[in-house]
Amino acid sequence: MTSRRAVLKSGRIWCSGPCCSRGSAPKSGRTSHRIGGMSRVTGAGGRPPGSGGIANPFSALRPPMSFDALAPYYRWMEMMLAGGALHRCRTAFLDEIPRPERILLLGEGHGRSLVEFCRRFPAAQITCVDASEPMLTQARRHLARQHLPAHQVEFIRADVLDWTPPPGGYDLVATHFFLDCFRPGQLERMTPKIAASLQPRGIWLIADFQAPTGGWRGLRSRLILGLLYVFFRRVTRLPARTLTPPDSLVAQTGLALQRRITIEWGLLHSDWWQKPVA
């Protein structure tokens, strides 16, 4: 949430990344436009995914989620307010994983992960997906400021709920501070598609928030996450009301958790999931 969050620490507010769902109107350039229509996503019986109830006849009138207005500010917000904690989660395993050839970044936002992948894996082909055109613009600018070539990157403006990556098309997928944007039913739709895009032995890196249980750590996390969701639901029309851990959904696709790192008293984590050979 690819600096999409507001988190309280030592009297400061942290901000982390945007998510990959419905953004602004497309502009000209190298971006591939594969975004779906503006109709509301529904599940079986016309109900919104994860609603578990009767469909609301007025739900289609709600404006879609958008991080467009915050795009120009995310880079300095994260640098000034979040320090390096979020970025440490993004890059936790990049020096250890096998060198990838095809990389998929979902909900990339303003491009901090993109820069790291381009710098560390210059021979890889990278697909960078986000629903916000202003966020993709910030990602391109961030790449240019670091004097990194953009020829290895394909920028796609798309709603991840509607867009389907090619099966077996990637050996590395990264969803950093992104999955926490979505309701349980939406995650149930997304995770099989993401897992199917991985080749055998492919790696899925996930960096995100979590809620440790018990004690002052649990209380602190609940307070932070509560403030986070209130803020972003109002500012960006975030669909999720609370954090849904994706672990069980990812495991159901057959991937296995190889490693997990937690920092900030359990508030942030970075995961390395891997697809089996067969």
pLDDT tens, position by position, 240-252: 888 999 999 999 9
The average confidence (pLDDT) of the chain is 78
pLDDT score at 69: 57
**Which sequence spans correspond to the domains of the chain?**
7-35+64-274
Residue 17 in this model has a pLDDT that exceeds 70: no
Could you report how far apart the first and last alpha carbons of the chain are, in Å? 32
Residue 51 in this model has a pLDDT that exceeds 50: no
Residue 180 in this model has a pLDDT that exceeds 80: yes
Residue 44 pLDDT level (bands cut at 50, 70, 90):
very low
pLDDT score at 10: 35
pLDDT score at 71: 67
Hey, which residues does 14 pair with through a beta bridge?
7
pLDDT tens, position by position, 131-167: 989 889 989 998 999 999 889 999 999 999 999 999 9
Residue 239 in this model has a pLDDT that exceeds 80: yes
Q: What is the pTM of this model?
A: 0.75
Residues near 173 by beta carbon (within 8 Å), at least 6 away in sequence: 103, 104, 105, 106, 194, 197, 198, 202, 203, 204, 205
Residue 78 pLDDT level (bands cut at 50, 70, 90):
low
Q: What fold does the segment set 7-35+64-274 form as a domain? A: Rossmann fold (3.40.50)
